[in-house]
Amino acid sequence: MDSPRCFFSRVSLFSKAGLLTWHSRKPPGWSQLFLGSACKGNFTHVISKKCQKGSKSPKKASHLGPLDGSWKERLADVVTPLWRLSYEEQLKVKFEAQKKILQRLESYLQKFNGVKVTTAAPKLKGLCCLLHPIIPSPVIDGYRNKSTFSVNRGPDGNPKTVGYYLGTWRDRNVVCVRSNHLKNIPEKHSQVAQYYEILLRQSPMEPCLLFHEGGHWRELTVRTNSQGHTMAIITFHPQELRQEELGVQKETVKEFFTKGPGAVCDLTSLYFQESTMTRCSHQQSPYQLLSGEPHLFEDLLGLKIRISPDSFFQVNTAGAEMLYRTIGDLTGVNSNTVLLDICCGTGVIGLFLAQYASQVLGIEVVKQAVEDAKWTSAFNGITNCQFHAGRAEKILPQLLKSKGDGQLIVAVANPARAGLHYLVVQAIRNCRAIRTLVFVSCKPHGETTRNIIELCCPLNPAKKLLGEPFVLRQAVPVDLFPHTPHCELVLLFTR
């Protein structure tokens, strides 16, 4: 799943009317409201409509006022829309939502492809496959191991406020609200954000609110592991500063967090990244280690996992273990199969299942993550894994050609929200050796829906989809994101 900042500033949740004018009171009939309407997929619209019926959101926030309880609740309602419900009720909401998604998927398959997806397994009425009960998260509060905090004007107008966004850039009413009250963020992350704000307010350098307006201080990313070790990554826009001036700022940051007030955060790793873009990879702009260790390490599924600043790792560590075990159960890998791990991140899925497979082949676009996977493989004595750095659409077709059709391949795909590239879907579909595919998605609509349609549609020479179509057999929702409407949906396809 993407960082919170991406969720706050880009998805359509922020474009709905009434978002900035919610009441702080708990509306009546909350659980019934969600259970009846959540499957429509627009949680924020439901909340805002219930809380402030008939109200209109101002295009500009002319008066913001102090940071009181209402601002906190508004932020909580955006970031964690289900926070008012008991966890049991949240799971009911999510299960109903996933059921609706699968029903909609079957209708798409029938409409666009004339496909009737069937399975011999027992299923709920109207579903194209067997839908298992949702697997709950072992940790409900403070579960995030990675948080990204923005810098902008707070409700009091101070531009050096560290938190999460409310409002939209289009309406010019963005407000940055401190997020220490949010249920999904651990205290350690909030503590580092608090001291980053202190650093900014002590600094004579201005924040970078808009690139073309100048300024320097940008977002903060905090990563933690289950042992309590903490990595902080500070993003800084260099603008026209000389290298000597940048050196002074880096030394200021290091001094603050190692010997100054920020030392209370007890950081394991402190990184500094000079970035002139919204998001930079390590290759585009290297992460510079100011102090501490270069990596975090996590114990998961009997493995010691290495995590770099740029590497993808599921944000809920305890929930990730449930997710990976579920994936393993569905793959059915054995000593006669090759496991193909597409968009593998730090390689955890493949490394966990390597003990059962004859070989594991992983593909990941982030080079640092691939280096982490290789380190983890060597450290844990795993010798049957190969990891390839690059875009899956470039690597996968050649990799499958090299394997031929002689050995059975089980594929696992865990792409970002944008789904799989068309050439990846084409390669999977046309490889006769792939009889089983496990597809993992935290956003099972949009491009992911297109991926599934192309995997399951009849042969289509015009689109170069020449292989036997897949059939969707089972679906397992796994909750990695308590208090939010999201969960991971694990889909099993066979042919």
Distance separating alpha carbons of residues 434 and 467, to the nearest angstrom: 10
Phi, psi of 254 (to 5 degrees): -60, -45
Q: Distance between CA atoms of 386 and 340, rounded to whole angstroms?
A: 10
How far from the centroid of its chain's Cα atoms is residue 229's Cα? 21
Taking the mean position of all CA atoms in its chain, how far away is CA 365? 16
Residues 193 and 162: beta-carbon distance below 8 Å = yes
Instruction: List % helix, strand, coil for the chain (3-state, nearest 5).
Output: 35, 20, 40
End-to-end CA, the chain = 28
> Which residue pairs from 127-131 have beta carbons closer than 8 angstroms and sit at least 24 positions apart in sequence?
127/99, 127/102, 127/103, 128/102, 128/103, 128/472, 129/102, 129/472, 129/473, 129/474, 129/475, 129/491, 129/492, 130/473, 130/474, 130/475, 131/98, 131/99, 131/102, 131/474, 131/475, 131/477
In one letter, which amino acid is 323? L
Q: Which pLDDT score, from 0 to 100, does residue 14 have?
A: 33
Reading the block at residue 118, the tokens are 């069937």
What is the layout of strands, in order, in the sheet containing 337-342? Answer: 130-131, 471-478, 488-494, 434-441, 408-413, 337-342, 359-364, 385-389
DSSP 362: E
pTM for this prediction: 0.82
Helix (H) or strand (E) holding 221: strand 217-224
Quote the CA–CA distance of 166 and 78 in Å, as a whole number.
Answer: 8
Catalytic residue from among 208, 442, 456, 457: 442
488 is annotated as an active-site residue: yes
The angle, 0 to 180 degrees and rounded to 10, between the axes of the packed helices 422-430 and 392-403 is 10
Exposure string (b/e) for 148-166, b if CB count within 10 Å is 16 or more? bbbbbbbbeeebbbbbbbb
208 is catalytic: no
- Cβ neighbours of residue 139 under 8 Å, at least 6 residues apart? 316, 318, 319, 482
Mutual orientation of helices 422-430 and 447-456 as an angle, nearest 10°? 20
- Side chain identity at residue 245, one-letter code: E
List the structure tokens of 156.
Answer: 């009091």
pLDDT for the residue 105: 87
Q: Smallest Cα–Cα separation from 321: which of 143, 85, 132?
A: 143
Q: Are 86 and 483 in contact (CB under 8 A)?
A: no
Contact 152, 207 (CB under 8 A): yes
Per-residue pLDDT of the chain (495 residues; tens, 9 = 90+): 444 334 333 333 333 333 322 333 333 333 333 333 333 333 433 333 333 434 443 333 334 444 556 899 999 999 999 999 999 999 999 999 999 999 988 888 777 656 555 444 445 555 678 999 999 999 999 999 999 999 999 999 999 999 999 988 788 889 999 999 999 999 999 999 999 999 999 999 999 998 788 899 999 999 999 999 999 999 999 999 999 999 999 999 999 999 999 999 999 999 999 987 777 666 678 999 999 999 999 999 999 999 999 899 999 999 999 999 999 999 999 999 999 999 999 999 999 999 999 999 999 999 999 999 999 999 999 999 999 999 999 999 989 988 766 789 999 999 988 899 999 999 999 999 999 999 999 888 778 889 999 999 888 898 899 999 999 999 999 999 999 999 999 999 999
Displacement of CA 493 from its chain's centroid (Å): 23
- For residue 74, the one-letter residue type is R
Q: What is the dihedral of CA 406, 407, 408, 412, to 10 degrees?
A: -120
- Cα 317 from Cα 468, distance rounded (Å): 37
How far apart are the C-alpha atoms of 426 and 55, rounded to whole Å? 48
Spatial separation of the C-alpha atoms in residues 278 and 6, rounded to whole Å = 10
Helices (H), 39-86: 43-51, 69-79
Residues in CB range of 64: below 8 A, 6 or more apart: 154, 155, 156, 157, 175
